[in-house]
Every structure is written in C-alpha cells, then in structure tokens.
C-alpha cells in the first residue's frame, strides 16, 4: 500500500491539480474546463467575485500525494471576523472545494481513492480548527461555470462530506443546458396579442440585457453573460449562461419569455456562442410567486436538458470535533 503525504500545494503540482479539477468539471458540464492559469488564479483570489472574496483573510490549498501523483486536493478559505463581513460569513471557515480520484477500478490505474481523501479531509478539518472559526462550510465551487455545491455526479465527494459531519443546508439547484441552434427557431414571430414587440439591448447587472418593449413599456427582460476570461478560460469560449429572466406578471403565459430567449439566441449566435446554461431550484417559488416547477417545465419545453442537481450550503458544527473520517 503506497504512502500518502498531505502537504501544502506547490507550483509544481499545477498540471496535476488542473487535471483533477477538470475531470470533476467534465462529469457535470460537457466540454467545460479551465486552464492551469485559471486554477492558479482562484488559489490566490477570485477577481470576478467582488462581494464575498474581499472578506477572505486566509487561503490554504492542500494536496494528497501518492507515488508522486496528486490524488486529492482541497482549497480552504477563512473569512474575517469584523463588521464589514456579512453575518453568514463572519468568522467562518470553508472547504471551498475538495476533489479526489475515486478508487482505482483496475490494476495499473492511478493511485487514489477514499484513503487519500480521508487523510486530506482530516488535515482540512485540523486547519479549520486551527483557525478557530465559528462556522464550518463546504462545497464544490470550482473555477468552472455551472459547477458548484456537490453535484450528483460526485457521490464520492458527497460521501466524504457526510461521514465528516457536513450536511447540506441549502436548496437543491438544477443546472440546464440548451444548444443555441435549438432555441433560434423560437425567435421569429411575436407573442399573442403583442404586435410590434421589439427587443432593446442594454447593459444588465448579469451580462447583456435584452428587453421586450411594446410602445414605451418594458414588459420583460433576459440577461446573459458570455463566458470569457482570455487565456485563463480558454475552454469557455462557446458558452453563456442566463443571469436573469423576468416577465411582468400581467404579460406571463403569453409567450414573452420564449420570444426573449429566441432573441437572445440570435444575438448569441452572432457571438459564436453555441451552448447556453440556465439555473433553477428543485422546490419552492421565486420572490414573485412563480413556482420553480413551472420554471423547469418551461426550460424542458424549449428544449433545455438537465445536466445536474447540486446540493449547496454544506455546514458542519465545529463542536463535533470527534466526528472525523
């Protein structure tokens, strides 16, 4: 049985770490992955996260090495305890992500499996205790769009978290994907009873906004962000995701949302985007009273394909110090 060394990340680990990250990403979203530079950038800071990331006061990345191979890795964050930090994050520690190669399926496979993951988790919990944080969180927020929480394609990670005392406390989120060419035919024509409907393009809070306008009234809008990042995110170039989709209540169920998606698809086609991600929840309703059941039915009819269901908000009681893998 090969020995396992759990140690801080070294720059020489970068290629193997990126391979490990991308293997987990590809199991969730087909074809998505990041460059070595993108992984290294996240270990230092998350430039796109301008709210939570400035609250981070410590970052630690640990790897488990077997036979000169990185078989497991974890990225840990500590949030400051002062008043500028939001109450849910104040004086909290987080396993931002933890990934590992599952048990080898055959002789000659790369080393990996639960033993390395257990030792890495034990070291991660020791680090959280050393920080003496009041809350302990965990997740799987890789530097890859659409990959967060603990997706259903990671049963090995879920099992590790559960036997280490972490439990999911947030809603189950669902990630969908559609081909732009499947959405484009929905664009021509106008929703029932709304002749002369036009699309107005502007800057939105979550990407480019396309508004549905009749006369002088904006009756709905959709926002989408194209995945960019230059060489850091080289494999993201043909993807985008929906940041916001809203239709005024009196105009719902008249085809406005479908029309907006068609307009967006035409615009994204000009940008050489060919796949679009969308997100919703498994249960409940949004702030306007719209059921998430209706959201899912709408997306599937377009057609969007479900990629994953992911559990978020994993939390562990720091008082359970005896519950170790």
The class level of CATH for 5-171+311-316 reads alpha beta
Backbone CA torsion sign across 320, 97, 24, 104 = negative
- pLDDT score, position 1: 58
Q: Is 63 helix (H, G, I), strand (E, B) or coil?
A: strand
CA distance 168 to 158: 10
Q: What is the pLDDT of residues 209-219, one digit of tens each?
A: 999 999 889 99
- Token digits of residue 135: 């809350």
Closest Cα to residue 269, out of 321, 221, 224, 217?
A: 224
* Same fold flag, 5-171+311-316 and 177-281: yes
CA distance 289 to 14: 46
Q: What is the pLDDT of residues 87-132, one digit of tens each?
A: 999 999 999 999 999 976 455 555 667 899 999 999 999 999 999 9
Mean pLDDT score of the chain, rounded to an integer? 89
Give me the residue spans of the domains in the chain: 5-171+311-316, 177-281
| pTM of this structure | 0.89
Q: What is the mean pLDDT of residues 10-17?
A: 97
**Is the separation of the CB atoms in 164 and 125 below 8 Å?**
yes
- Token digits of residue 253: 């169920």
- pLDDT score, position 233: 45
What is the percent of the chain with per-residue pLDDT over 90, rounded to a whole number? 72
Q: What is the pLDDT of residues 154-170, one digit of tens each?
A: 999 999 999 999 999 98
**Is the separation of the CB atoms in 112 and 71 below 8 Å?**
yes
The class level of CATH for 177-281 reads alpha beta
């Amino acid at each position: 049985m090969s020995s396992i060394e759990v140690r801080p990340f070294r720059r020489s680990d970068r290629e193997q770490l990126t391979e490990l990250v991308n293997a987990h990403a590809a199991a969730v979203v087909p074809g998505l992955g990041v460059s070595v530079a993108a992984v290294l950038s996240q270990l230092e800071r998350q430039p796109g996260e301008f709210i939570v990331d400035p609250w981070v006061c410590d970052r630690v990345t640990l790897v488990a090495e077997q036979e000169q191979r990185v078989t497991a890795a974890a990225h840990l964050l500590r949030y400051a305890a002062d008043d500028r930090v939001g109450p849910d994050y104040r004086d909290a520690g987080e396993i931002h992500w933890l990934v590992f190669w599952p048990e080898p399926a055959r002789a000659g496979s790369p080393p990996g499996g639960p033993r390395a993951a257990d030792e890495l988790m034990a070291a991660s919990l020791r680090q959280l205790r050393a920080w003496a944080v009041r809350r302990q969180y965990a997740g799987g927020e890789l530097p890859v769009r659409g990959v967060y929480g603990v997706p259903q394609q990671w049963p090995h990670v879920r099992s590790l978290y559960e036997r280490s005392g972490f439990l999911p406390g947030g809603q189950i989120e669902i990630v969908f994907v559609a081909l732009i060419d499947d959405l484009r035919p929905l664009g021509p024509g106008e929703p029932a009873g709304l002749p002369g409907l036009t699309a107005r393009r502007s800057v939105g809070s979550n990407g480019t906004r396309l508004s549905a306008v009749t006369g002088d009234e904006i009756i709905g809008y959709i926002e989408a962000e194209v995945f960019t990042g230059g060489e850091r995110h080289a494999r993201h170039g043909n993807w985008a995701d929906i940041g916001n989709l809203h239709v005024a209540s009196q105009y719902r169920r008249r085809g406005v949302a479908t029309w907006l998606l068609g307009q967006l698809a035409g615009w994204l086609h000009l940008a050489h985007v060919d796949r679009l991600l969308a997100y919703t929840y498994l249960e409940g309703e949004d702030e306007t009273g719209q059921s998430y059941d209706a959201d899912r039915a709408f997306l599937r009819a377009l057609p969007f394909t479900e990629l994953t269901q992911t559990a978020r908000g994993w939390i562990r009681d720091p008082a359970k110090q005896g519950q170790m893998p």
